């Protein structure tokens, strides 16, 4: 069940240069939302809505949190929103993560792929190990949020200006080596997802990936946000918005 309504912004903060956290009061959408789902957000003056992952769901307060980065003119316009303004939101959309009820979960996020991983940590707390990677120290977001949930956090930066220097796949290898991992979940650049999926295959650990694609309707009608998948041995284009955004990694043809 999804909704299309104007919801008031109750909190807005800039987390890093050009990366914003926005909380809206949206009781019906919050009640229906699950980790890994997204919203398609209307921007005045633009034909297309902007798909933004859901970073936080508070069913009691009735709020949804979004963390997005200014990437172009649309998100720049979106960033002008102030507390008290209304956001035109179509949500919650798509299939989120299916989180195993027991066992250790590894949540891997790269850059602006980190926000959709936070809700996994909210649900799994100490069971969750978060491996989050950023370009450099100035781009780090949400690290304390994961810690606050009781999750172990491995912080990586490309240039080593904070945490471990290098890719998220280094700590991921260590964690997989320890064993007893129920599932790995990941969101980030395509090259990162591909490496994560490959490692999970080697260690025989189930892996779910959240994909991104240029999107139209957001609800499965227009079939523009396709990604190549293999289902029942057959290659086919699936819809990121409706069949995803979260897919089992073994279904995804990353070079498609």
Burial 132-145 (b: 16+ CB within 10 A, else e): bbbeeeebbbbbeb
Residue number, 200 or 215, with CB nearest to another protein:
215
- Residue 73: C-alpha distances to residues 49, 96, 156, 212 (Å): 12, 28, 29, 18
- Which one among 28, 242, 248, 254 touches another protein, defined by CB under 8 A? 242
Going through the chain in order, the beta strands assigned E by DSSP cover: 3-16, 19-25, 38-42, 50-58, 63-69, 86-93, 104-110, 128-134, 152-157, 164-165, 181-187, 207-210, 226-231, 234-239, 246-248
At closest approach, how far in Å is the CB of 46 from another protein?
7
Stretch that binds another protein, among 41-49, 60-68, 162-170, 243-251 (CB under 8 A): 41-49
Q: Which strands, in side-by-side order, build the sheet including 164-165?
A: 164-165, 152-157, 128-134, 104-110, 181-187, 207-210, 246-248
Radius of gyration of the CA atoms of the chain, in A = 17
Burial class (CB in 10 A: 0-12, 13-18, 19+), 204: exposed
Residue number, 71 or 148, with CB nearest to another protein:
71
Q: Is 62 in the site for another protein (CB under 8 A)?
A: no
How many residues are recorded in the chain?
256
Taking CB under 8 A as the criterion, which residues in 211-230 touch another protein?
213-228
Q: Is 46 in the site for another protein (CB under 8 A)?
A: yes
- How many residues belong to the site for another protein (CB under 8 A)? 33
Q: Is 6 in the site for another protein (CB under 8 A)?
A: no
Q: Is the peptide bond before 245 cis (omega within 30 degrees of 0)?
A: yes
Q: Is 95 in the site for another protein (CB under 8 A)?
A: no
Q: Is 150 in the site for another protein (CB under 8 A)?
A: no
Residue number, 3 or 170, with CB nearest to another protein:
3
- Which one among 8, 103, 150, 256 touches another protein, defined by CB under 8 A? 256
Residue number, 88 or 158, with CB nearest to another protein:
88
Stretch that binds another protein, among 102-110, 173-181, 182-190, 209-217 (CB under 8 A): 209-217
At closest approach, how far in Å is the CB of 247 from another protein?
14
Q: Is 64 in the site for another protein (CB under 8 A)?
A: no
| Residue ranges in contact with another protein by CB under 8 A | 1-4, 42, 46-49, 74, 88, 90, 213-228, 235-237, 242, 256
């Amino acid at each position: 069940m999804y909704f299309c309504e104007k919801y008031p912004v109750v909190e807005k903060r800039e987390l890093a240069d050009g990366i914003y956290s926005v909380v809206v009061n949206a009781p019906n959408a919050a009640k229906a939302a699950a980790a890994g789902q997204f919203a398609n957000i209307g921007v005045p003056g633009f034909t297309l809505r902007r798909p933004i992952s859901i970073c936080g769901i508070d069913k009691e307060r009735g709020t949804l949190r979004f963390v997005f980065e200014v990437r172009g003119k649309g998100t720049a316009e979106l960033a002008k929103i102030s507390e008290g303004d209304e956001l035109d939101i179509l949500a919650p959309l798509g299939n989120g993560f299916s989180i195993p009820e027991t066992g250790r979960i590894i949540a891997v996020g790269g850059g602006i792929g980190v926000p959709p991983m936070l809700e996994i940590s909210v649900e799994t707390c100490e069971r969750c190990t978060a491996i989050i990677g950023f370009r450099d120290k100035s781009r780090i977001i949400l690290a304390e949020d994961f810690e606050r949930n009781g999750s172990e956090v491995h912080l990586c930066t490309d240039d080593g200006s904070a945490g471990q220097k290098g890719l998220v796949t280094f700590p991921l290898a260590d964690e997989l080596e320890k064993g007893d991992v129920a599932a790995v979940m990941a969101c980030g650049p395509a090259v990162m997802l591909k490496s994560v999926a490959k490692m999970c295959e080697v260690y025989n650990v189930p892996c779910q990936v959240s994909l991104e694609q240029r999107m139209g309707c957001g609800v499965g009608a227009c079939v523009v946000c396709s990604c190549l998948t293999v289902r029942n041995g057959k290659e086919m284009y699936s819809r990121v918005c409706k069949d995803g955004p979260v897919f089992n990694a073994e279904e995804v043809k990353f070079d498609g």
